[in-house]
Structure 1
Amino acid sequence: MDRKIVELLLAGMSQNHIVAALSVGKKRVKRARREAERAGYFQGVPLPAYPEAVFPDPVDRRHEKTSDNDVILQEHLAWMRERLASGWQPITVWEELPLRVPRSSFYRFLERHKLCRLGESFRHTPEILHEPGEALLLDWGKLRDVVEDGKKRTLWAFVGVLGFSRYMMVRLVWSNDVATTIAAIESMFQELGGAPGRLTSDNPKCFALEASRYEPILNPVIERFAAHYGVRMECLPPADPEKKGKVERPMPYVRRLYQAHGNEWHGLEESQAYINKKVSLANERKHGTTRLRPIDDLVNIEAQALRGLPPLAYEIEEYSEGSVRRDGFVCFRGKFYSVDEALRGEEVAVVANATRVAIYAKGKLVETHARIRDPHQSKSIKPHHQKSWEKTLRDQSHYLRRAAEVGPDVERIVQAILLEGEGFVDTRRVWGILSLEKTYPRDAVNEACRKAFELNLISYQTVRSLLKLAPRPEKGGAATLKAEDETHKFVRPISEYTKQLKLRLH
């Protein structure tokens, strides 16, 4: 609601108009104005993208306070729940309590613990009037069951009715998921040639994550879709269909229009074409309430009040909620995306389209990734999220350092193999060449790599064959004497052992 108030303030709407349009108090509008000035939104600072919070959430300290009556009643909570479940009236429970508490505190305790609903209104819903282009009312209704390929499916009629002209549109759908619903609404906008100021509907999960009598929590994808077309989303209170009777009442009429089609099934396209013809005729007849033809009211009055459509259609997005795993990854649609390990265990929201995945934590964007489409790839990790050993494996520098220790030509041939980019096949060949120093002198291995590079035969087998063909030093002679004289730095020379043996013999 704060975002809507700030957007209207930035658009130049007065405080009284905002109070009337959003049904909020003046204090809330004034508070939103002060917060917006403090945040610099009136000085050119752009609003953060939804669902990032416009203002930081205030700390609610009401739950920290507990009255004495609440503590006393808490001891008898199970007793009260049992009596109320058996049919006792709340006033009877209050009278039979083994202690005395104010009746107002008792009823507040029941409401706080959801033991009853007080103050329920049964007033008659007054007539709801709409201005031209103000609202498009939406609803679903079961049309028929379809048996196709031995499977039974339910075909739904997604109905949209303009609040002013009563112009009706019907889209046949198999489900009410987000993608299907957005596609159906966009096709209605295309048929109308514009967008209304508000979309009014119930509280399905594709529209609202949590229904409420006062302020529902909207699905962020629908919120972004509405912002793209410049419309507002209105989810009505639960169990209150009278507030959108203009679309609730025609549902049986839509079923009657399809009645003459029969039980034959020739595909969704054929049924959609059939219902389109019937609805087109219905829009040309006089409406039972207005006694006017909906098509005439649409063309002559309401079409001019609709908002123009943006040049680009909305790119359908998906929304999901979850938590950061212990390894620092977030799971979305079976794929894993990395975030900062400091967020481990935190609740996050994921908004994704066909190409990008955006991850939000505490109302702020924390990371974005290219969406994984390869079925063989399971995770996406940013370079700054990699461990030190993962970075080493990816940049392949340890192979080059090891090859440089053997010789410059070995390093050159290893680098050429890695540039071929064949993954594990390359690393096996590299380790084969590096392991040759266990059998042959390093100079010989380096020389063989130089010859293989000159022959343009860059492979382990070529280097190994050249080493086998190279002449080996003859046994005995100066080479043998040199080998005998060579000692390890931690081993004494043989002359020292000879001297000690002679002393012991004498």
Structure 2
Amino acid sequence: MQERISMIKLREILRLRYENDLNVRDIGLSCNVGRQTVSNYIALAEKAGINWQEDKNLDDNELEAKLYKGKIPKEYGSGTNNRGNKPVPDYEKIDKELRKKHVTLLLLWSEYKQENPDGYQYEMFCLLYHRWKKKLDICMRQDHKAGEKIFIDYSGDKIPIINSATGEQVLAELFVAVWGASNYTYAEATLTQQLPDWIMSHVRAFEYFERVPNVCVPDNLRSGINKACLYEPEINPTYLHLVHHYGTAVIPARPYMAKDKAKAEVGVLIVQRWIIAVLRNRKFYSLAELNQAIRELVEKLNTRIMKKVKQSRKELYEMLDKPNALPLPAQRYEYAQWKKCRVNIDYHIEVEQHYYSVPYQLCREVIEVRITTTTIEVFLKGKRITSHIRSFEKYRHTTKPEHMPDKHRYQLE
């Protein structure tokens, strides 16, 4: 029997398939459902003739109705090997090319043979490359496609900020984001790891990169992941709407699986050595002052030539990740929190100890509320019902006359 999923997850499956072109496995990881379930729903959408560019604007009921209708040399560098005088492949170039989308060893071997007809056959070509790759350190052996992923985590070590008035110290958190293919790094200090700081650090990281990755891989931080689970981590709804805005996807690192977040942990270690250690004897009196110092050191880190690849992180980023990543959207993300509310019998909902009206027909319904600094928006099954200007007066109510029954409106008049 096919697993029945919520319309939110169904929409996410279709979005990741038709907008992000993710495969079934990655969609399953992102949406916390089995691969067979993903395959079944994609097949169902194709059978129903779903045109996602048009049908994504349908509300949940309309979309649901439409959907259910219907041998080895000793040297491995570039140049010519003495044995048989055969040209040795350029392994560094091969390694860089393999990070690009859709590039395979078979394709690179065919190009090598076109230039070197007397060169190695395919089996030996692959064997030589893999032997060369084993000489690299562990962080260079991971296969990260260009523009595909960034890995996100906080540094365990913190940086003190001194209150100039009281002399008290506040320990600032250090947010770190690292690209998989190029190791291009972003870091900034925040006062907390709470949801607003977590979300806006993503926004500033994307703006620093001037691009958006196809996939974000966060550690199981409570701000972004509601439930850390080996098989089904649950993504915070505000975090989910952030990735919707930027057209990307989230595949959280599995708990107790170090390989899932090795890139982030190595990135954090480098940031600790090249930023926290460098700033250890400096005193900072504001978050802005600290972040200015961090930005300067991040630039030095990204432009420093790496010994193994003989290029800087920035050069690799411009060559690999940036051309294959997603563009920034026209509008900056506006931070918003989401919560579920049950409509009271007086057709009002409570948000931050203030009461807002909804159409009286929705009494006792469970609805979703989007909360920004200026507005309150109400949604039912994905459809926007109403909105209010946000009020910060506690225990007061904001009522629209059109939400009231006729009798109540008559008495009010």
Interval containing the TM-score (normalised by the shorter chain): 0.5 to 0.7
Is 1:281 aligned to 2:290, yes or no?
no
- Is the 8 Å Cα contact of residues 160 and 284 (structure 2) preserved in structure 1? no
Which residue of the partner structure matches residue 163 of structure 1?
Answer: 180
Output the CA distance in 2 between the equivalents of 1:42 and 1:382.
Answer: 37
Deviates more, 1:347-356 or 1:304-313: 347-356
Evaluate the alpha carbon distance shift between residue 270 and residue 354 of structure 1 in structure 2; reply closer, same or farther with a 3 A threshold. Answer: closer
**1:314: how far off?**
1.5
Is 1:140 aligned to 2:134, yes or no?
no
Superposition TM-score, scaled by structure 1 size? 0.56
**1:35: how far off?**
4.8
- Is the 8 Å Cα contact of residues 158 and 173 (structure 2) preserved in structure 1? yes
**1:328: how far off?**
2.9
Which residue of the partner structure matches residue 429 of structure 1?
Answer: none
**1:299: how far off?**
1.9
Aligned pair partner of 2:211 in 153, 169, 194? 194
User: Structure 1 or 2: larger helix share?
Assistant: 1
The higher-RCO structure (CA 8 Å, 6+ apart) is 2
- Is the 8 Å Cα contact of residues 5 and 18 (structure 1) preserved in structure 2? no
Evaluate the alpha carbon distance shift between residue 182 and residue 31 of structure 1 in structure 2; reply closer, same or farther with a 3 A threshold. Answer: closer
Which residue of the partner structure matches residue 22 of structure 1?
Answer: 27
Is 1:378 aligned to 2:396, yes or no?
yes
**1:155: how far off?**
0.4
Evaluate the alpha carbon distance shift between residue 353 and residue 161 of structure 1 in structure 2; reply closer, same or farther with a 3 A threshold. Answer: same
Evaluate the alpha carbon distance shift between residue 125 and residue 53 of structure 1 in structure 2; reply closer, same or farther with a 3 A threshold. Answer: farther
Aligned pair partner of 1:203 in 202, 211, 220? 220
- In the alignment, structure 2 segments of 5+ residues that lack a partner are 1-8, 29-33, 66-137
Provide Cα deviations, 1:469-504, integer angstroms capped at 9, x if missing partner.
xxxxxxxxxxxxxxxxxxxxxxxxxxxxxxxxxxxx
Evaluate the alpha carbon distance shift between residue 336 and residue 127 of structure 1 in structure 2; reply closer, same or farther with a 3 A threshold. Answer: farther
Output the CA distance in 2 between the equivalents of 1:18 and 1:370.
Answer: 40
Aligned pair partner of 1:180 in 193, 197, 222? 197
Which residue of the partner structure matches residue 376 of structure 2?
Answer: 357
Task: Spell out the pairing of 1:350-499 with structure 2 (5 A cutoff).
Answer: 350-361=369-380, 363-365=381-383, 367-373=385-391, 375=393, 378-387=396-405, 390-392=408-410, 394-395=412-413
Which residue of the partner structure matches residue 51 of structure 2?
Answer: 42
Evaluate the alpha carbon distance shift between residue 350 and residue 52 of structure 1 in structure 2; reply closer, same or farther with a 3 A threshold. Answer: farther
Provide Cα deviations, 1:317-356, integer angstroms capped at 9, x if missing partner.
1112343334332111222122355655554332223443
Letter in 1 for 2:11: R
Letter in 2 for 1:226: V
Which residue of the partner structure matches residue 331 of structure 2?
Answer: 312
- Is the 8 Å Cα contact of residues 59 and 383 (structure 2) preserved in structure 1? no
- Is the 8 Å Cα contact of residues 353 and 394 (structure 2) preserved in structure 1? no
Which residue of the partner structure matches residue 5 of structure 1?
Answer: 13
Superposition TM-score, scaled by structure 2 size? 0.67
Output the CA distance in 2 between the equivalents of 1:44 and 1:160.
Answer: 31
Evaluate the alpha carbon distance shift between residue 393 and residue 154 of structure 1 in structure 2; reply closer, same or farther with a 3 A threshold. Answer: farther
- In the alignment, structure 1 segments of 5+ residues that lack a partner are 57-123, 396-506
SS of match in other structure, 2:221: coil
Evaluate the alpha carbon distance shift between residue 145 and residue 323 of structure 1 in structure 2; reply closer, same or farther with a 3 A threshold. Answer: farther
Identity between Structure 1 and Structure 2 (%): 18
Letter in 2 for 1:2: L
Output the CA distance in 2 between the equivalents of 1:52 and 1:208.
Answer: 28
SS of match in other structure, 2:327: coil
Cα RMSD over matched residues? 3.5
